[in-house]
Amino acid sequence: MKRRPRIWRDHHGVPHIEAADESGLYWGQGYVHARDRGLQMLLMRILVQGRASEYLDSRDATLEIDRFFRRMNWSGGMESDLAALTPKAKEQLAHYCDGVNCALAKRCPWELRLLGYRPEPWSIGDSIAVSRMIGYLTLGQSQAEMERLVVEMIQAGVPLRKLEELFPGLLGGLDRELIERVRLHQRVVPPEVKWGVAVPRMMASNNWVVAGDKTASRKPILANDPHLEGNRLPNVWCEVVLRIGDRYAMGGSMPGGAGVLIGRTNDVAWGATYAFLDAVDSWVERCRDGKYYREPDGWLPFRQRKELIKRKKKPPVETTFYENDHGVLDGDPYQQGHYLCTRWAPGTSGGTTLSRILEMWSVTDVEQGMDVLGRVETAWSFVLADRHGNIGFQMSGLMPKRRAGASGLIPLAGWKPENDWSGFVSHRKLPRCLNPPQGFFVTANNDLNEHGRASPINLPMAPYRADRIACLLRERSGLTPSDMFRMQFDVYSTQAATYLEILRPLLPDTAQGHILRDWDLRYAADSRGAFLFEVFYKSLCREVFGLHGLGEAVADHLLAETGAFVDFYGNFDRVLLSEESAWFDGQTRDDVYRRVAADALSVEPRTWGETQRYVMRHLLLGGRLPRIFGFDKGPVALVGGRATIHQGQIYRSGGRTTTFVPSFRLVADLAEDACHTNMAGGPSDRRFSRWYCSDVKRWLAGEYKTVSADGAER
């Protein structure tokens, strides 16, 4: 029988697992995850299995959620994933599952017991499925939605010259006539939001690493603040300290999987941001009689996968999905027509990723860490540092090998074999860098293609945050963790600075115009300039892309209900900042800015903090119980904007309010055996635990706790 680990909390509530060997270590992590985040884990499994209608509620909206997850099929096809696990990783994950099941046998979350749910044993397959789901929903979904939006824009009749301004160099292979034939079932913009082309005028994260030459400790410092939802409780991340003897790993883990995703060991620290690598493609399939056409084979049958979705107190619903080597069909092939088939490259993988995460326990230097993390199948930009003084950057992800001239943004004819993928690019050809001469490396979802032999990014975020971080690092030496803390809370906007250079002389001679003209370009809670700039910016987007292109209703929907302008505002800024553009419909940029400013800035000025308030809602019961019960917290005020280092965005997506915020902040100086952190939440998902929201005040105030390997209070 394995020797059980010692499990205890430090004075911040962070769980420490001390074990004699790795079997006890990962058993302990599984036990801690299920004890502290059992509700989170089990809800993720219910969702990824497409069983929310069976266990949670039987609304039609829930049925559509189940259909989505059944369509993605992340709980199926485990054979190849299990085979991809190294024998050591398989053993470690088995111990992790044993720990999970021991904790769940003692206590299943009462919220789920009330719903009549009794959990099945946790399995390695569940960890793989959750890994797939997290990888897509945090990494691949925005790319897939943008590619589908491009199809909708083409079908709406947006002229080619306007599309080329938004997506320069990315329209290779575009067959407009073919795209116009496609029948879309899943739309980014709902059918009831009408495209307005009849009007003739025509919807992130930081990390950086600094070499010892620029730090006070003479050792590298690494900083990371992943931007995920901050309006949910518990936090997505679960802090943990793992220890065997003198060897430790600490940082952010993800409940459902073993190991540390971002953090450090004795020797190496690493942090991650979303890389915006394009791993999602669609093909146009010509269908009839349940078959698709393929050259030179002719008509071939789809593979059919039937899924039975059980519903509480309602009859079950059977859904059939049609698949081929291009993915899952968006449509019914028995109805003759052209439909999209879509594939996400890591969609049938996950075993290799889990193995690589576990390998980081043994990594001793940056170069070795780059090789390990580069083999992760989902798309991340990792920065690394080691005690020897090395720093590095490595992108990961399965980048498809596409035919010459194909960017991956535009769907191609599925019946032509030359349009298929021909394998994946080696991680050594992806962007990477070891010991850069400037003494630091920054990633902020920006374009990093220049650092690789391959160019995996076609729709990066704008460079504003990366430029601001680089500017602050370039001008300083003797940097300390405290400097990193201040940078992670920096709310200066280089995007706003770029716009105000053009806008200042065009502003109206009004009180609002003077406020915006004199604004310090910081998205602070008491800033009225930030509020007015956002009013102007959204009005400008609505004017240019609504009245002069997509229709006002569509522009309003993309701004208010999708992440298109949240993730890909750099593409839209490329148009809005141009001196001349087809989107200006024959007007000058100054005329457009002047008119929009005059109309938009007639509003009563408010502070940025007044408009940036949200409630942190419980994962299952959020909004369903009176606030006095304490499951929901807030409202809290959010600082920062889309283009500030401290990103702060509130918008609606999928019919609900969501946020982009630094969900977890981490700073590691390699001269210490510790990390400095805070998070939007706390260690536990138990409402009546003292650790439910224990880090929120620190997170809001910009204060950091020190998590040490020995748990000593500092």
Is the pLDDT reported for residue 42 higher than 80?
yes
Asked if 264 and 699 touch (Cβ cutoff 8 Å), the reply is no
- In this prediction, residues 447-465 reach a mean pLDDT of 95
Locate tokens 């536990």: which residue? 684
Residue 332 — very low, low, confident or very high, per pLDDT cuts 50/70/90? very high
Per-residue pLDDT tens digits for 668-696: 999 999 999 999 999 999 999 999 999 99
Is the pLDDT reported for residue 404 higher than 50?
yes
What the block records as the tokens of 170 is: 């990315």
Return the C-alpha torsion angle 11, 15, 19, 21, nearest 10: -140
Is the pLDDT reported for residue 327 higher than 90?
yes
Has residue 85 been placed in a domain? no
Peptide bond before 505: cis, by omega within 30 degrees of 0? no
Has residue 508 been placed in a domain? yes
Is the pLDDT reported for residue 197 higher than 50?
no
Has residue 592 been placed in a domain? yes
Handedness of CA 527, 530, 535, 536 (dihedral sign): positive
- In this prediction, residues 389-401 reach a mean pLDDT of 97
> Percent of the chain at pLDDT above 70?
95
- In this prediction, residues 91-105 reach a mean pLDDT of 97
> 200: helix, coil or strand?
coil
Per-residue pLDDT tens digits for 579-632: 999 999 999 999 999 999 999 999 999 999 999 998 999 989 888 888 889 999
Has residue 578 been placed in a domain? yes
What pLDDT score does 188 carry? 56
Q: Which residues contact 693 (CB under 8 A, 6 or more apart)?
A: 233, 616, 633, 681, 682
Q: State the average pLDDT for the chain.
A: 92
Query: E strands, 429-485, where?
Result: 432-434, 440-443
- In this prediction, residues 514-519 reach a mean pLDDT of 98
| Interatomic CA distance for residues 33 and 40, integer angstroms | 9
Q: Range with the lowest mean pLDDT among 414-423, 522-531, 540-549?
A: 540-549
- In this prediction, residues 8-15 reach a mean pLDDT of 97
Position with higher pLDDT, 528 vs 657: 528
**Count of residues for the chain?**
714
Position with higher pLDDT, 142 vs 637: 637
The total of other beta-carbon atoms located within 10 Å of residue 671's CB is 16
Residue 195 — very low, low, confident or very high, per pLDDT cuts 50/70/90? very low
What pLDDT score does 242 carry? 98
What pLDDT score does 136 carry? 82
Phi, psi values for residue 373, rounded to 5°: -70, -30
| Interatomic CA distance for residues 446 and 679, integer angstroms | 24
Asked if 259 and 361 touch (Cβ cutoff 8 Å), the reply is yes
| Helix runs in 324-365, H state only | 351-359
| Helix runs in 136-221, H state only | 141-155, 160-166, 176-181
Per-residue pLDDT tens digits for 636-655: 989 999 999 999 888 765 55
Beta bridge partners of 16: 8, 241
What pLDDT score does 86 carry? 92
Number of domains in the chain: 1
Asked if 677 and 694 touch (Cβ cutoff 8 Å), the reply is no
| Interatomic CA distance for residues 137 and 393, integer angstroms | 24
Give me the CATH number covering residue 593: 1.10.1400
Has residue 558 been placed in a domain? yes
Asked if 15 and 683 touch (Cβ cutoff 8 Å), the reply is yes
DSSP 522-556: B--TT-HHHHHHHHHHHHHHIIIIIIIII-HHHHH
Helix, strand, coil percentages (3-state) for the chain, rounded to 5, are 35, 25, 40
Residue 497 — very low, low, confident or very high, per pLDDT cuts 50/70/90? very high
CA-closest candidate to residue 13, choices 501, 658, 662, 691: 691
CA-closest candidate to residue 382, choices 272, 510, 297: 272
Has residue 577 been placed in a domain? yes
Q: Which domain holds residue 508?
A: 494-606
What pLDDT score does 653 carry? 59
What the block records as the tokens of 625 is: 């119980």
Task: Calculate the CA 621 to chain-centre distance.
Answer: 24
- In this prediction, residues 63-76 reach a mean pLDDT of 90
| Interatomic CA distance for residues 513 and 597, integer angstroms | 8
Is the pLDDT reported for residue 192 higher than 50?
no
Is the pLDDT reported for residue 702 higher than 60?
yes
